[in-house]
Chain A
Amino acid sequence: MQSHIVLLAIFAFFVSLVFAILTKDDAREQLRLGAMLFGGFIVAAFVLGWLMYPIPL
């Protein structure tokens, strides 16, 4: 498993899962927050990735 995007998604999944489990008690709210966090991680990764694209390193 060497795909950066897959590893990023797995990482985002685990972190979202634990945050949602810890902060909410109701299953529906946990699912909602977990999905929002997961989506936020993925969108942020793409946005930051494209913002950094023109930066020469």
Chain B
Amino acid sequence: MRATVAEKPQSGGLVLLCLASWAIPGVGHLWLGRRAKGLILLVALPLMFVLGLAIHGRLFPFDRSDLLVGLAALADVGIGLTYFAATMLGYGAGDVRAVTYEYGNAFLIVAGLLNCLVVIDAYDVAMGRK
């Protein structure tokens, strides 16, 4: 007999999906069988982040004394494991004298924020809303 009500995904699986989607951009979509979307996101978002580093963008520290710096740091972390890899390898110091410094920051911050949207989209797909 065919089920009339769609199976609800388990919350543990959802948390794992969202974590994986955050850690490696696009993995959530690949997990859910959206291969083309997943592959494009897997390439595009880390590439945008690396480009931000290449043009002297800064990975902001978690500074509680300055709200905007803290928020920028939070957005940077949105890209997932790439952020931690870059930090461990010593990238992201930023060069405020570089012409491209602000562009670099925009690339880094927006790459992280776009990945947050990707996580939300993966969640929606898993919940059957899309």
Contact = CB atoms under 8 A, between A and B. Distances in A.
A21 B37 contact: yes
Interface of B: 37, 40-41, 44-45, 47-48, 51, 54-55, 99-100, 103, 106-107, 110-111, 114, 117-118, 121, 130
Contacts of A2: 99-100
Contacts of B110: 11, 14-15
A36 interface: no
A10 B51 contact: yes
Interface of A: 1-2, 4, 7, 10-11, 14-15, 17-18, 21-22, 25
Given A1-B55, A11-B110, A18 B99 contact: no
Nearest to B54: A1
A50 to B, nearest CB: 20
B39 to A, nearest CB: 10
A22 B118 contact: yes
A57 to B, nearest CB: 15
Contacts of B99: 2
A12 to B, nearest CB: 11
Nearest to B38: A21
Nearest to B25: A18
